Structure 1
Amino acid sequence: MTPFHALAFTVGILGLLAQPALPETPLLAALTIPALLPWRWRSIYACAVFGVLLVTWHSQALLDQRWPEARYGEEVWVQGHIASLPDVTRNTYAGEGEATDKSPSNTSRFLFETKGANFPPRIRASRYRSYQTLEGGECWRMLLRMRPPHGSVNPGGFDYEGWLFRQGIGATATVKSAERCSDNNGYALLKVRQSLIDELRSWLPASSARGLFIALTMGDTSELSRGDWDLFRVTGTTHLVAISGFNIAIVSGIAFFVIRWLWCLWPPLLLRLPAQKAAMLGATLFAFIYALLAGWEPPVQRAFLMLAFISAAAWMGRLSQPSKVLALAWFVVLTLDPLAVLSPGLWLSFGAVAAIFYVMMSRLQPPRMWISLVMLQLMLSLVLAPLTVWYFHGVSWFAPLLNLFAVPLFSLITPILLLAILLAAVAPAWGMPLMQWCAQALAWLHDGLNWLATNLPHMWIPATAPAPALALALIGALLMFAPRGLPVRVLGLLCFLPLLFPISQAPKSGFDLTALDVGQGMSVVIRTANHTMVYDTGPAFDEGFDAGSAIVAPFLLNQGVRRIDMLVISHADNDHSGGADAVRKLMTVDKELGALTATPCRDDQKWEWDGVSFEMLHPDGGEWSSNNGGCVLRIESGSYAALLPADIEKKAEYRLLKEQLYSLQADVLLAPHHGSRTSSSEDFIDAVMPQWVIHSAAWHSQFRHPTPSVVARYAKVDAQQVVTGLRGAASLHIDEHGVSTPKFAREQQFHFWNAPAQALTIDLNAVDKPKKRAKSDD
């Protein structure tokens, strides 16, 4: 296996994954025929075809297992096993129908594996407001409300549907009722891990240190908060916490040196097997045991397989050809899981190992070991920086310096943590004090990282760049650390210049408007030639999802925006303001207006950017409810305009009709209150007369937004309507020449694993149903 064969195999996989649909059988047959004919490059071509065939077979099997869209919301009884460690969030309120004097209820998310032929084998389930404890490996019979895989789709945003597809998850579900069953067969490893984690939780008090302790030893990160992960990201230490190649290398490295030393103490053993080979076997075995304890998740599997291949090459004396060793390991890993090519961890792990080989295989020949280690760390930082920017939309400038100390520290503390667990199990008198000391050390470490993140300026640099610029930067990193004597080394710095000058996608005239797909909520980005406004930031939840960090900031960075000229929060409801904190952390915000700020919206506020007029039409200085007090913004270029009315209802609409009638006309309208029946009165619609109406509402909205009666009202004035949850982020351009046809993210960046875009159903005869009166004692 040469690097060229591995490259062709990868190109075949990536080429198919970029397609909107899987190829039909005749096309696959046509592609295969040249691989059967004798010609010079047949073996390389065959590897590419093998990649295409492998992904097609693997992907079709996963698509066939998906829960159908036609059965959305169906409630079914399913028996299966909890196939992961449940991710538990403690709620501060009692469950429905439960006494409030009980302990707080839990929200649990877990992987549920079924055996029935009529259900997807793997379901991502959520259980809310439960007082029952769920544990990995248990058998349960559950009443599940089923949903096919679906998520928000936005340029630059996280592809949740793609993540579910890679995990082999065929449905998501909400647990409505559950009862334990007696089938306790299987899942022995998961049960052992669950038992060990339960013991750790009983030994250590709840804290960030305990969460870090469990993450480093058992691979369970459920106790790490979103703030913890933000801290690791900002300081560039995420790779030290999530068990993958680094942690496997630590355990195997320590085991290698200890076993080699012990083997040499008994000379007869040396006659049977050299100490170095014995240490290789022992190190691989210990790494395998640690990988099992860490859950044998895909990143851990890849790390162990890579280690096993490198150890086998060293055993056979083939490390003089590291490129072939890595190529073979890459080929085997992708053969076992071709969708792993979409995982950031795969590229970061193999990239790091390749960089280590590049530096350590006597290419640079540093005079001292410590210089070699420093150069290695700098090399890793530079090589992995383009990948970090590509996957995580930024880079930590302090990470190279911090990792010079953090890597040795974590290399030392991780084996001690494992030793503490072992001693606590067999000799508590020794193990418990050591465990307490380790927890205290981790607490100090966490506090130190937090101090650095708080006191050092702008540790995280938000950034993005097109793939060609990042590839050029990667080449530049290799050139800078090329062997001495090559005249091209000085060109390495020049390869980084495109990263300093991102390509702007701002309009030359007028303005671009993008209504992001944030689920049930609202976030709109308006861009003129030299300015950017964010109107609302979508929701954020304690369970982990934050539209600000997952959708809004990645979209802005994808557009080449690093500074927000104005952030407008229309009102304080979570579905409009939840992501604001994350946006502030990730982006530079020059000015804020509206809720949560010292400058509220008022109807006399006007300004102009690059020939585009902005005018706040509402609220006035009166007393308004949260919804009716929302900021109503009109944006105009030439004689064409867009109107953003937040969540106002009919009372605020009446005020606008009375006092701002001649300012309401707009060609593009963000439907008030997501298309709720409490808004969009007929008089309001007649005053606006929109050409396009965008309903910022979730797919299968729990509030049934937009309501059929509202949709019918807009249809009667011939307005074209779209729902962000059905078609993804909606982008359009408005200038003095008119309004462009909107582009929708679900159609523009569609992959075969994505749910197709859906049209809005319109019933012209739909009317509001009368509300049910609440029962009274009269």
Structure 2
Amino acid sequence: MHKLMLSGITGVIAGCFITPFYILTTAAVTVSVVLLICALWRFTGRHLTGRKRSLAYRLLQYSLILFVTLLFSALWRQSQLQHRLPQSLDRSYIEARVLIDQVTQRERGQRLRVTVLSARMLNQVNQTAELPALRQLQLNWYPRRDDVVPRAGNEVVIRAVLRAPRNFANGLAFDYEAYLLTKGIDAGGYIRSLDLQQEQQPHTEPRQQLRQTLLKRVTEAATPWVAGLLLADQQAFSARQWRTAAYTGTLHLLVVSGLHVGLIALAGWLIGAVVMRLVSLVPARRLPSPGWLRLLPVVAVTGGYVWLAGAGIALQRAWLMILLAAVLAMHRRRPDWLEIVLAVMLLVLLFNPLIWTRPGFGFSFVAVIALLAGFRGRKSHRLEGLILPQWQVFMALLPVMLWWGQSVGAQHLLANIVAIPWLTLVLMPLTLLAVLTSAPLISDLLAAAGDLFWAWLEFAQQLALPQFAHLSLPVIVLWYLLLIVFWLGVPRWLMWAGQACMLWALFLMPPAEQRSVMMADVGQGLAVIFRDGTRALIYDMGARFSERFDAGSAIVFPLLRQSGAQQVDQIMISHNDNDHAGGLSGFLRLARAYGMPVGSIVAGQPQEDETYPQTSCDDPQAADGRLSRWQNLTPTLRWRMLAIPLSERSQIRAVDNNQSCVIQVDWHGLRFMLSGDLEKDGEALLVSRYGAELQSDILLVGHHGSKTSTSPIFLNAVKPAQAWISAGFNNRFGHPHAAVMARLQAQDVRILNTAGCGLVRMKRPGLPVCQRHGWQPPWRQR
């Protein structure tokens, strides 16, 4: 049975990468070859007997399951992609009648998730492509004061600009396009106008009504814990609290998971025990089996809770495991833990074949396998029973956390040692009691316990303790092989000693020292990382998109960690526009939380920051030439400022773009010119001041390729062999401008644009590689 389920799991995952035509063709050829072999075998008078026949039947079963799941997964993926807005229709302007499913308040405006009832295109972006049958959209809405505020359940007519789903291609683990496919969202975009069809009280679905009723039973101070811990409302905790949990490695505690379902199952088990006790008092014998009476409340109560909490991956997994274990128990069969886990994994994958691309899938199943494998056939005393489960889960999840870009270190261990028992033994029971009793005293105790929880995490966050380095794939494989050895039943003292040595080895493992230059794919923005050994220089940080997402923390910092950098020696922020400086605060917040040293920060328009003071490009050191001399970070990485003195700035337009810091970087003998958004008059001043010194091998094209920059005189002075452009795909500004592209092409300059390349990475001088030009999964839009 295990091999049969593994065949199905393999088929579902592999089917996401293969077309149905290829599967059917391969199957037809395989069946033809097998039939031919069978015919030849029969013709020669041979027969399969005994073990050979049994083996042949098993292989036939595995092959059949593999083929069916392969085909199912491939057809599912193809069906999803038929509804998705293609890249060729990006920025389509549509009018649609939609039903609002969800309204989420954002920092600016609202985010609406809507079901499309009908839609038509108002502009013809592509003459050959037709608008697909859109199902669900995720749209931003920035209402004016006099606009109607929509609510879930309203039916409205909208005019919206649609954006095709497209990943930031930086080689990081999270796959945004796959995420949208698993959620059934076919396009994003923003609403230009919204008209309410009819004034009516929006219909509230039963689940939402029940959630609101439960929240009314507790005080306002306790509401976040009931909404977040019990009902899986991600808006219950603030953006700052989510960041604190992420920085301390306790994010898994705030995500409703199998732990919560287990506590609810315990309540169901107690209900079943009461029911059985009552049944035993009834003289009649024609009643359901006692086993059914004990297990039905467990399945029913946990199923209702999973529905109420939104049926996330971990909840689906936990409930399906309970259901399968109950079915096996009713048939008087002792459950096989591995059989149950594999069956549940297969069911979850069949429900949504791309769900394995989301972090919750790995976290959920790795955690439960660690618990079941680690305790199979073992006896533990009470203290060990409290500590060992969470220790086993941590050891199993550590590579998963590092794979998904989470920094993990000693302070995370310390934070979890206190936070896990506090949440399990205090917060969760108080949350359930507060809802069940509706007593203000219990709600107040819950709020106070919650404040202590956050206070502890804030304290742990401030500790600058050693961090684990990013793990390579061979190290991850070795890690799990060693865990399997320790779970197979070695003496307990050897298990503890061995796993402690594994952690110590990770702390001692030096990070991979790389030399590289990376221009990150941050959309319509700029972020460039120069690496040499463990040292780094960063020029710009990309944009801040919302209170929960910015390029500095979501892209630049993970890339830096992945490349093995241990410190940042120099940060340059060209000027204060959001697309260049917006990600700085998020990056510095992560650097502070994870104890990464940050050197000096030089900015075109410096901001006040007590922890990380910023120096202006107009600092006297720049004007008198001291920063214009080469500054060595390593023997093969150096930089210098190309400053425009304050006395000459009156000759150029007084705009933010002309405040840009201009630097030249020498990396392993290659020179890079970075001018931010400096405009043509500023470029002319640079040419008159520095002349032939501007010559560089690679030009980071100014202002994303706008026609206001990269003048002929500047281009002739720099004389680049390559031009790197950081611009958003199909951006509304039309960058890079056709005139700039023509100018570069006329000088036979090799052009690399993040809009088509994704991340541009150079590991060997003169040989850049584009992230999008390698192999891409079939659901990825290039």
TM-score range, shorter chain: 0.7 to 0.9
Matched, 1:127 2:127: no
Q: Say whether the 8 Å CA contact 1:465–1:502 is kept in structure 2.
A: no
Cross-structure match for 1:357: 372
| 2:742 is aligned with 1:712 | yes
Task: State the alpha-carbon separation in 2 of the partners of residues 362 and 221 from structure 1.
Answer: 38
Aligned residue in 2 for 1:614 = 639
Q: Is the 8 A contact 2:248 2:411 kept in 1?
A: yes
Q: Does 1:82 align with 2:107?
A: no
SS at structure 1 position matched to 2:106: strand
- Larger CA deviation: 175-184 vs 576-585: 175-184
Provide the aligned C-alpha RMSD in A: 3.4
Q: Secondary structure at the match of 1:296?
A: coil
The CA deviation at 1:11 is: 3.2
What does residue range 218-367 of structure 1 map to in structure 2 within 5 Å?
218-261=231-274, 263-264=276-277, 267-268=280-281, 272=287, 277-363=292-378, 365-366=379-380
2:774 maps to amino acid:
Q
Say whether the 8 Å CA contact 1:694–1:722 is kept in structure 2: yes
Within 2, Cα distance between the matches of 1:392 and 1:734? 25
| Corresponding position: 1:574 with 2:591 | no
Aligned-partner residue type, residue 546 of structure 1: D
The equivalent of 2:731 in structure 1 is 701
> In 2 relative to 1, CA 30–334 (structure 1 residues): closer, same or farther, beyond 3 Å?
farther
Amino acid at match of 1:42: L
- Confirm or deny: 8 A CA contact 2:111 2:140 kept in the other structure: yes
Contact 2:98/2:115, CA 8 A, preserved across alignment: yes
Match of 1:148 among 161, 164, 169: 164
Q: Residues 629-708 of structure 1: matches in 2 within 5 Å? A: 629-636=659-666, 640-708=670-738
| Local SS of the residue matching 1:468 | helix
1:319–1:325 contact (8 Å) kept in structure 2: no
SS at match of 2:281: helix
User: Helix, strand or coil for the counterpart of 2:143?
Assistant: strand
User: 2: CA distance between counterparts of 1:375 and 1:220?
Assistant: 30
Q: Is the alpha carbon distance of 1:183 and 1:240 closer, same or farther for their aligned partners in structure 2, counting shifts above 3 Å?
A: farther
Q: Provide, for residues 618-676 of structure 1, a one-character-per-residue CA deviation record: whole Å limited to 9, x for no partner.
A: 24355565322222121235764211111111232122111111111112111111112
Match of 1:745 in 2: 771
SS at match of 2:545: coil
Matched, 1:370 2:380: no
Q: 2:111 aligns with which of 94, 102, 108?
A: 108
Change (3 A) 1:254 1:121: same
Corresponding position of 1:583: 587
Could you say which residue in structure 2 is the equivalent of 1:55? 73
Identify if the C-alpha distance between structure 1 residues 577 and 50 changes in structure 2 by more than 3 Å, giving closer, same or farther: same
**Partner residue, 2:628:** 604
Give the AA of the match of 1:687. Answer: A
Residues 314 and 568 (structure 1 numbering): CA distance in 2 closer, same or farther, change over 3 Å?
farther
The 1:481/1:320 distance shift into structure 2, 3 A limit, reads same
Q: Which moved more, 1:625-634 or 1:37-46?
A: 37-46
Tell me: CA distance 1:573–1:413, structure 2 relative to 1, closer, same or farther (3 Å): same
Contact 1:21–1:751 (CA<8 Å) still a contact in 2?
no
Query: Do the aligned partners of 1:393 and 1:557 also contact (CA within 8 Å) in 2?
Result: no
Q: Secondary structure at the match of 2:349?
A: helix
Amino acid at match of 1:6: M
Task: Name 2:475's counterpart in structure 1.
Answer: 469
Equivalent in the alignment of 1:451: 459
Residue equivalent to 2:5 = 6
Q: SS at the partner of 1:224?
A: coil
Residues 170 and 500 of structure 1: CA distance in aligned 2, closer, same or farther (over 3 Å): farther
- Structure 1 residue 243, shift from structure 2 partner: 1.7
Mapped contact 1:149–1:171 kept (Cα < 8 A): yes
Please say if residues 5 and 346 of structure 2, whose CA atoms lie closer than 8 Å, have aligned partners that are also in contact.
yes
- What letter is aligned with 1:119? A
Q: 2:565 aligns with which of 550, 561, 573?
A: 561
Listed as ranges, the gaps of 5+ residues in structure 2 are 39-55, 120-130, 607-612
Offset of residue 276 of structure 1: 6.4
Q: 1:528 to 1:581 in 2, by over 3 A?
A: same
SS of residue in 2 equivalent to 1:478: helix
Residues 35, 45 of structure 1: 8 Å contact kept? no
> Could you tell me how far 1:707 is from its partner in structure 2?
1.9
Aligned position for 2:124:
none
Q: Alpha-carbon deviations, 1:198-220, whole Å to 9, x = none?
A: 98489755x7x644432223222
What are the Cα deviations for residues 247-275 of structure 1, in whole angstroms up to 9, with x where unaligned? 22222223323542564366326975676
Among candidates 180, 185, 198, match of residue 196 of structure 2:
180
Find the aligned partners of 1:380 and 1:745 in 2 and give their Cα distance: 34
AA matched with 1:504 = A
Please give the alpha-carbon distance, in whole angstroms, between the structure 1 residues aligned to 2:410 and 2:33. Answer: 49
CA distance in 2, matches of 1:313, 1:450: 45
Greater shift, 401-410 or 443-452, is seen at 401-410
- CA positional deviation for 1:408: 4.4
Q: Which amino acid aligns with 1:326?
A: V
Residues 273 and 232 of structure 1, relative CA distance in 2, 3 Å threshold: farther
Rounded Cα–Cα distance in structure 2 between residues aligned with 1:355 and 1:734: 41
Q: 1:282–1:165: structure 2 CA closer, same or farther, 3 Å change rule? A: same
1:150-165 matched pairs, under 5 angstroms: 150-156=166-172, 158-165=174-181
Unaligned runs of 5+ in 1: 92-105, 424-429, 757-778
Mapped partners of 1:40, 1:218: distance in 2? 44
Give 3-state SS (helix, strand or coil) of 1:81's partner: strand
Q: TM-score, normalised by structure 1?
A: 0.84
Q: 1:492 to 1:410 in 2, by over 3 A?
A: closer
Q: Structure 1 639/470 Cα, relative in aligned 2: closer, same or farther at 3 Å?
A: closer
The Cα shift of 1:487 comes to 11
Q: Is the 8 A contact 2:15 2:72 kept in 1?
A: no
Q: Deviations over 1:389-425 (max 9, x none)?
A: 11233225344554455444434543543554465xx
Kindly state the Cα deviation for residue 566 of structure 1 after the two structures are TM-superposed.
Answer: 2.4
Q: 1:395 to 1:734 in 2, by over 3 A?
A: closer
With normalisation by structure 2, the TM-score equals 0.83
In the alignment, the residues of structure 1 paired with residue 19 and residue 61 of structure 2 have an alpha-carbon distance, to the nearest angstrom, of 28
- Equivalent position of 2:47 in the other structure: none
Change beyond 3 A, Cα 1:664–1:211: farther
Q: State the distance in 2 between where 1:485 and 1:127 align.
A: 60
Residue number in structure 1 paired with 2:610: none
Change (3 A) 1:34 1:359: farther
SS of the equivalent of 2:616 reads: coil
Shift of 1:187: 8.2
